[in-house]
Amino acid sequence: GTYLDNASAPEEPVKCTECKAGKWSGPGSSKCQECVKPSPWAEWVDSPHGGSTTPECKYKCKEGTEPKADNATCSCAAGKGGPSCEECGKGTWSTTDSVNCIPCRNKPGEHSFYTQEAWKNEECPYACEAGLIDVRHNKECVTALSLFIKACGGPRRLRAILCASLATGLLLLCCSRCSYLAMPLRATPGASRSRYAFTNDKLPYHICRVYISGANRYGSPWKISRRLPEHVQVVIQPEAWGEFAFDANAATDVPRWEGILEWCFSSFYEILVPVLVTRRRQLR
């Protein structure tokens, strides 16, 4: 644990100098030798019994590290690294006893950023920039338009869908101009087309107004209550009123295809929605 100090003056007796922390020497050594450091996170300490006489010098683990179970070396936990075993910053990670933190490489593109420090594996957590759909539903952190195009199968398939939808819409609009769709009422079998027509010559026989409810579009069509109003129960048979309400409601019913077409236009070509709704209302 000491070495012969050759720098002593000739008239002075030879003296032995104690080796410093992290060095050792055997008997008769003229200099101290470096001890073998057990890990990058160990630091030498002075021995209370003088210099070390073996290569296994006394040490302690740096702050933030801890000795392993066998006390043979120091351990740096996962998520930490570097000479001082500090927490890895955002965008880096490490496993147990990593000398350095490793850069993460799983973040997509430029519109995302890493969110967690001291991460322990290569799948570092990240988030999308403000204004983009949440990363839980948008792993690649792309814009809503790009995400929609991808969901449709790519630009080519989306163009095909739009063209098909537009062609279908135009075809249905042309078909809606047919006269049979413009009939004011869809009468029950055997009923006359003019059965419920109200002309000027019938004005003296007017007994009450009939109110209808609804918005005259899919999901909220015009409807007449099938319950006979109390103030006309003495002049109208309930069966006749029920038949009238049934025919009127059937005539103003909005078919399912119209609702589907309206939804398609609102999703792909919204400018046609008012045209479709107005035209169909006029026909009914």
Query: Torsion over CA of 66, 68, 71 and 72, rounded to 10 degrees?
Result: -110
Please name the residue that has the structure tokens 């570092």. 124
Domain final position from 39, 62, 85: 62
Total-model pTM = 0.47
Same domain, 131 and 188: no
- One domain for residues 196 and 264: yes
Q: What is the mean pLDDT of the chain?
A: 80
In a domain, residue 70? The reply is no
**Residue 175 φ then ψ, to 5°:** -65, -30
- Express each pLDDT in 211-264 by its tens digit: 888 888 888 888 988 888 887 888 888 888 888 888 888 888 888 888 887 777
Is residue 68 one of the residues assigned to a domain? no
Q: Are residue 85 and residue 191 in the same domain, yes or no? A: no
**pLDDT for residue 254:** 85
- For the residues 262-271, what does the mean pLDDT come to? 68
Cα distance between residue 107 and residue 103, in whole Å? 11
Whether 28 is covered by a domain: the verdict is yes
Exposed (0-12), middle (13-18) or buried (19+): which is 217, by Cβ within 10 Å? Answer: middle
pLDDT at 191 over 60: no
Question: Is residue 145 domain-shared with residue 263, that is, in the same domain?
Answer: no
Of residues 268 and 166, which shows the higher confidence score?
166
Q: Is residue 111 part of a domain?
A: yes
What integer pLDDT is reported at residue 12 of this predicted model?
Answer: 64
Answer for the pair 45, 58: CB distance below 8 angstroms, yes or no. Answer: yes
What is the mean pLDDT of the segment spanning 155-163? 85
The amino acid occupying position 244 is F
- pLDDT category, 141, cuts 50, 70, 90? very high
Mean pLDDT confidence for 190-217: 70
Please write the tens of the pLDDT for every residue from 82-111. Answer: 888 899 999 999 999 888 999 999 999 889
Distance separating alpha carbons of residues 111 and 130, to the nearest angstrom: 9
Co-location of 167 and 123 in the same domain: no
Clarify whether residues 162 and 265 are in a common domain.
Answer: yes
pLDDT computed for residue 180 by the predictor? 42
Q: Give the 3-state secondary structure of the chain.
A: CEEECCCCCCCCCCCEEECCCCEECCCCCCCCEECCCCCCCEEECCCCCCCECCCCCCEEECCCCEECCCCCCEECCCCEECCCCEECCCCEECCCCCCCCEECCCCCCCCEEECCCCECCCCCCEEECCCCCCCCCCCCCCCHHHHHHHHCCCHHHHHHHHHHHHHHHHHHHHHCCCHHHHCCCCCCCCCCCCCCCCCHHHHHHCCCCCCCECCCECCECCECCCCCCHHHCCCCCHHHHHHHHHHHHHHHCCCHHHHHHHHHHHHHCHHHHHHHHHHHHHHC
**pLDDT of 184 over the 50 cut:** no
Provide the residue range defining the domain that includes 207: 155-283
Q: Are residues 113 and 45 in the same domain?
A: no
The number of domains in the chain is: 3
User: Do both 174 and 195 map to the same domain?
Assistant: yes
In a domain, 123, yes or no: yes
Contact 186, 196 (CB under 8 A): no
Q: Is 79 exposed, middle or buried (0-12, 13-18, 19+ CB in 10 A)?
A: buried
Report pLDDT for 90. Answer: 94
